[in-house]
A and B are shown apart, each in its own frame.
Chain A
Amino acid sequence: MSLSAETIRGEVTIRHLSKNYTLNGRPLPVLADLNLQIRSGESLAIVGASGSGKTTLLRILAGLENADGGEVLIDGKAVSGVGAERAVIFQEPRLLPWLTVIENVAFGLDTRGVSRAEAKSRARRYVQLVGLQAFENAYPRQLSGGMAQRVGIARALAVQPEILLLDEPLGALDAMTKIGMQQELTRIWRDEDVTTILVTHDLEEAVYLADRILILPREKNAAPRLIEIDLPRPRDRSAPEFVRYREDLLNLFGLH
């Protein structure tokens, strides 16, 4: 695919981004002068200790919070607030309990004014993509945690975003389900042409899924670091190179 100016989709530029919270009346810097270029179609993982601002960064990118300084550009245009070119997958599935699986998946299409018939057929396609066609008419209450999260993923993909923002999407799942879902995400991202930005606290997950890993420091005067994961996909968790990346990351966090 040629990356001429017209076809670039889902390129994210972060310029001098800063965000402060106030704690006991004093400003508490969460993000300080962050600069980053995320390539079209790339999958970027953001890791960092708690308090490093990784979730805040994702929420700013999603348009759910405003930055105090700097700007976010998508495909060269500065953005504020939510936008149709971005979809968010949260840690919890956040399904509407009164809608069936297929109605939940169609939700983002309904709100954006896609016709009913079109929304339904598109929703059906994405329900199939996550392997839940047998549960199309089930209510969220009848689903397991992993199934519910897959509905959430299908809902986000159904709006065909340029950028998919994931906030610890597999954090609440058990270890077995999690590995299965990581494999499924790799498969989905291979087929869907989408830039993915994933916040995670699971270093192995970051190495397994990402092209690059952004490590946010807790001390705001320290610079964020970027690590390129140069491994073919699907990745082998037991390959020596994979293990080495993981250990390098652990070392960075002083955990080895």
Chain B
Amino acid sequence: MSYENVNSTLGADFRLTARPRPVLVLAARLKAGLSPFLARYGLVVGFLALWQISATRGWVNPAVFPPLDVIVSVLWGSISSGALVDDIAISLQRAGIAFAAAVAVGIPLGLVMGQARAVEQALDPLFQFFRQTSALALYPVFILLLGLGETSKVFVIFWATLFPILLSTIGGVKEVDTKLIEMARTYGAGRLAIFRRVVLPASVPAIFVGLRLSATTALLLLIAAEMIGANKGIGFQVMNAQYNFQIPLMFAAILLLALLGLAANAALVLLQRKLCRWAQPAV
């Protein structure tokens, strides 16, 4: 029912008062737009506000927990002055190469292992063993084998990111509905056609679960590797800033890592939405 109808039954003199006040409309729109945002991010906003207030009011020691505006301005300053750019670049390069290598090895290997029972049975115990061994515990071994340079850093990240991708790909392939494969067989689809048209698309959602897990792991391992033996990188900056008691810079580097993680996840979610439109609820 529109306001026009209401006016026509009430008479023309009600028209002006019946029209909603623009300020109220704006407030109502704001409320409607804000409430889902608050439901999702309300706690984050609350946490950040608490941090800011505690630091400025002196509830916590501002030397240990600097106010957020200081952290953000240090972050902005060190990016715009170029001081952190090299660190960001080298960190992204390390994580990027390792992640790309894990994708390039993990997905094809997982697709094969998921389909060939014999290969999977032979390799699974070994992989489970490796997976349970913390990549960080193996980092000294990798340093011993590969030296203290870039290779060992990239390799330890690769090692840790490989398993989530590999295992979810195997899981995805193994869980493909055999009834769909049988259906494809009745239409004369051979092994290759079944793989391309049934197994592969059916595994994509599971593969993405692994990719998102791995992206998080990549950043985790990146920082750990950079804290142990590096003179550049975001992880190194976190450690270095702490040694030099540049606490705002330390938090700025930590914040940067969190933002990188969120960005990586968001990119993967976006890609997944594009590739798996069929699995999305109708909009």
Q: Which residues of A contact B (CB under 8 A)?
A: 62-64, 82-84, 86-88, 90, 92, 94, 96-99, 107-108, 110-112, 139-142, 159
> Apart from A87-B187, A107-B184, A141-B278, what 18 extra A-B contacts exist at CB < 8 Å?
A64-B182, A82-B185, A82-B188, A83-B188, A88-B183, A88-B186, A94-B180, A96-B197, A96-B198, A96-B201, A97-B278, A98-B276, A98-B278, A111-B189, A111-B197, A112-B188, A139-B278, A159-B187
Q: Give which listed residue, A64, A98, A139, contacts B186 with CB less than 8 A.
A: A64
Q: Are B179 and A94 in contact (CB under 8 A)?
A: yes
Chain B, interface residues (CB within 8 Å), range: 20 to 34
Given contacts A96-B197, A98-B278, A142-B282, contact A90 B183 (CB under 8 A): yes
A63 nearest CB neighbor, chain B only:
B186
- Bound together, the chains give a CA A87 to CA B187 distance in angstroms of 7
Contact string against A for B residues 190-205, beta-carbon threshold 8 Å, 1 for contact and 0 otherwise: 0001000110011000
Residues of chain A within 8 A (CB-CB) of B198 are: 96
A88 nearest CB neighbor, chain B only:
B186
User: What 6 pairs between A and B have smallest CB-CB spacing?
Assistant: A108-B187, A94-B183, A98-B278, A111-B189, A98-B201, A88-B186
Residues of chain A within 8 A (CB-CB) of B201 are: 96, 98
Q: Are B183 and A111 in contact (CB under 8 A)?
A: no
Q: Which residues of B contact A (CB under 8 A)?
A: 179-180, 182-189, 193, 197-198, 201-202, 276-279, 282
- Bound together, the chains give a CA A98 to CA B188 distance in angstroms of 20
B196 to nearest A CB, angstroms? 10
A97 nearest CB neighbor, chain B only:
B278
Q: Are B180 and A111 in contact (CB under 8 A)?
A: no
Residues of chain A within 8 A (CB-CB) of B179 are: 90, 92, 94
- Bound together, the chains give a CA A98 to CA B276 distance in angstroms of 7
- Bound together, the chains give a CA A90 to CA B187 distance in angstroms of 13
